[in-house]
Amino acid sequence: MGVEVAVEGLSKSFGRQAIWRDVTLTLPAGEVSVLLGPSGTGKSVFLKCLIGLLRPERGSVVIDGVDLCACAERDMYEIRKLFGVLFQDGALFGSMSIFDNVAFPLREHTRKSETEIREIVMSKMDMVGMLGAEHKLPGEISGGMRKRAGLARALVLDPQIILCDEPDSGLDPVRTAYLSQLLIDLNAQIDATILIVTHNINVARTVPDNLGMLFRRELVMFGPRELLLTSDEPVVAQFLNGRRIGPIGMSEEKDSATMAAELAHQAGRAGTPTGEDLRGIVPQLDPTPGLPTRQAVRRRRARVLQILDTLPESARHGILAELSLEDFERYQDWRRRTTGMAMPTQLPSPLPHRRPLPPQPEPTAPMRQSAAAPPPPPARRPRPWRRDGQGQRG
Ligand SMILES: Nc1ncnc2c1ncn2[C@@H]1O[C@H](COP(=O)(O)OP(=O)(O)OP(=O)(O)O)[C@@H](O)[C@H]1O
């Protein structure tokens, strides 16, 4: 299973240019997270800080008990082996065949024989649907294929954490949909922790378990997907709905006079459909039939139910509406036993896409047990979800 990445109080600047400050979030082990943000907000810089290619001025990135911001070179080298990175342009060597590109990390970092290397490369090429293209040069294949080749290369060392920097950039919507499916399938197959940086609203709405957003040099929010997909935070709602109305302007941020004028204009058009509202929770992608179920689904559900009381009503509603009736009853039962509290709510009307959980032999933490389970946090916390996917520091 993938490992957790715990980021605490991270700040990065270049000279006098602050990129972002005090970023705190946890990428839960084995789950898929997406980091959004307008161009230039420092998403790629954030990824580079996670793998130690850039050094933040303050804060920590803890993986497997090692703080990458304060560790020795040798520890950094070991931790880096846990990562597979898909760079924005695939970062393939133009003069090498796709096979050699994918084999490169194995030849550089392992002592495997050419027979073993061939076996691994072909299995990863198969995983990303690239069999048959191994003898081509990067310049002879399409952008989408280059991305997939980059992904195959990111996979050869069996990473536990996969970072994808704008995997959709330069791809048409159909290729982007295939790539989104590929990432979910990959997660089902290897249970790695995945962080995707993107501007793509469809990817953000359908792929991740968790969503976060950078804006104005800070992490505006990070948490379960339902939290951001139902959020009224102006910048989050604007971004996820692809609207012009909101704090994000064409080049950078809008000034307050422009925003006030926009709001007045919008108020004057109340009730007029603009075609811009895509608000709400849409079904998350399932793995392709025949692949294993994603282990992350059940783990995340257990985790999110534990922090349910800390989330806003709209997100709570969305999370409960995704439960099967049976799971909802188990949750209520667990809640009654651990808190002695009456049921917080009725099961919301089913969403059209409510699906039963995949069959599992053992129910997991919050639904299964009683006294040993950590009690849900107090119901009223001042927006604890703004900065941490867990809803609280832990
Ligand atoms: N090595 C560097 N030295 C100086 N400035 C840098 C460096 N790397 C990035 N920057 C600056 O940091 C800012 C954030 O860049 P970054 O590429 O992380 O943004 P982004 O959110 O990924 O943008 P996009 O979505 O357009 O790819 C930019 O202003 C960029 O010029």
User: Is 253 in a helix, a strand, or coil?
Assistant: strand
Residue 156 reports pLDDT greater than 70 = yes
Best substitution site from 10, 11, 12, 14 to test ligand 1's pocket, by max atoms within 8 Å of Cβ? 14
Which range (242-251, 299-308, 360-369) has the least confidence?
Answer: 360-369
User: What's the pLDDT tens digit per position in 79-106?
Assistant: 988 999 988 766 789 899 999 999 999 9
**Which amino acid is present at 7?**
V
Q: What is the pLDDT, as a whole number, of residue 195?
A: 97
Find out whether 36 and 239 touch, Cβ atoms under 8 Å: yes
Position with higher pLDDT, 172 vs 387: 172
Highest mean pLDDT among 31-35, 120-124, 129-133, 146-150: 31-35
Residue 9 reports pLDDT greater than 90 = yes
Q: What is the pLDDT, as a whole number, of residue 235?
A: 81
Position with higher pLDDT, 222 vs 381: 222
Which range (133-147, 177-191, 272-286) has the least confidence?
Answer: 272-286
pLDDT band for position 258 (cuts 50, 70, 90): low
Residue 191 reports pLDDT greater than 90 = yes
Position with higher pLDDT, 49 vs 172: 49
pLDDT band for position 249 (cuts 50, 70, 90): low
Q: What is the pLDDT, as a whole number, of residue 90?
A: 67
> What secondary structure does DSSP assign to 334-373, as a single string?
HHHHHH-PPPSSPPPPPPTT--PPPP-SS--HHHH-STTS
Highest mean pLDDT among 1-5, 90-94, 173-177: 1-5
Cα(17) to centroid of ligand 1, in Å?
11
Taking CA atoms, 201 is separated from 30, 78, 220, 274, 314, in Å, by 22, 35, 17, 18, 20
Could you tell me the two tokens for 358? 């995949």
Give nearest CA residue, ligand 1 atom 29: 40
d(CA 20, CA 214): 8
Q: What is the pLDDT, as a whole number, of residue 129?
A: 84
What does residue 193 show for φ and ψ, rounded to 5 degrees? Answer: -75, 130
Give nearest CA residue, ligand 1 atom 8: 45
Give nearest CA residue, ligand 1 atom 30: 40
Percent of the chain predicted with pLDDT > 70: 77
Question: Which residue in this structure is represented by tokens 């715990």?
Answer: 6
Cα(42) to centroid of ligand 1, in Å?
5
Give nearest CA residue, ligand 1 atom 12: 42
Q: What is the pLDDT, as a whole number, of residue 104?
A: 93
Position with higher pLDDT, 318 vs 347: 318
Find out whether 194 and 162 touch, Cβ atoms under 8 Å: yes
Cα(266) to centroid of ligand 1, in Å?
33
Task: Calculate Rg over the CA atoms of the chain.
Answer: 22
Average pLDDT over residues 208-217: 92
Does residue 45 line the site of ligand 1, with CB under 6 A?
A: yes
Could you tell me the two tokens for 53? 């290619």
Q: What is the pLDDT, as a whole number, of residue 366?
A: 42
Q: What is the pLDDT, as a whole number, of residue 248?
A: 73
Question: For the chain, percent helix, then strand, then coil, each to nearest 5?
Answer: 40, 15, 45
ipTM for the whole predicted complex goes beyond 0.90? yes
Q: What is the pLDDT, as a whole number, of residue 27?
A: 97
Cα(149) to centroid of ligand 1, in Å?
25
d(CA 326, CA 336): 15
Q: What is the pLDDT, as a whole number, of residue 327?
A: 82
Strands (E), the chain: 5-14, 17-27, 32-36, 58-63, 66-67, 83-86, 161-165, 193-197, 210-215, 218-224
Does residue 44 line the site of ligand 1, with CB under 6 A?
A: yes
Ligand 1 nearest atom to the CA of residue 199, by list position: 25
Best substitution site from 19, 39, 49 to test ligand 1's pocket, by max atoms within 8 Å of Cβ? 19
Residue 378 reports pLDDT greater than 60 = no
Could you tell me the two tokens for 68? 């990458």
Report the candidate in 43, 59, 68, 56 with the shortest Cα–Cα distance to residue 12. 56
Could you tell me the two tokens for 12? 């990065």
Q: What is the pLDDT, as a whole number, of residue 385?
A: 42
DSSP character at residue 244 = S
d(CA 319, CA 348): 9
Please tell me the pTM assigned to this model.
Answer: 0.80
Q: What is the pLDDT, as a whole number, of residue 367?
A: 40
Q: What is the pLDDT, as a whole number, of residue 142?
A: 85
Could you tell me the two tokens for 163? 């970072």
Give nearest CA residue, ligand 1 atom 9: 45
Handedness of CA 130, 136, 138, 142 (dihedral sign): negative
Q: Which domains does the chain have, with CATH numbers?
A: 5-221 (3.40.50.300), 231-266 (no CATH), 295-384 (no CATH)
Which range (13-17, 238-242, 328-332) has the least confidence?
Answer: 238-242
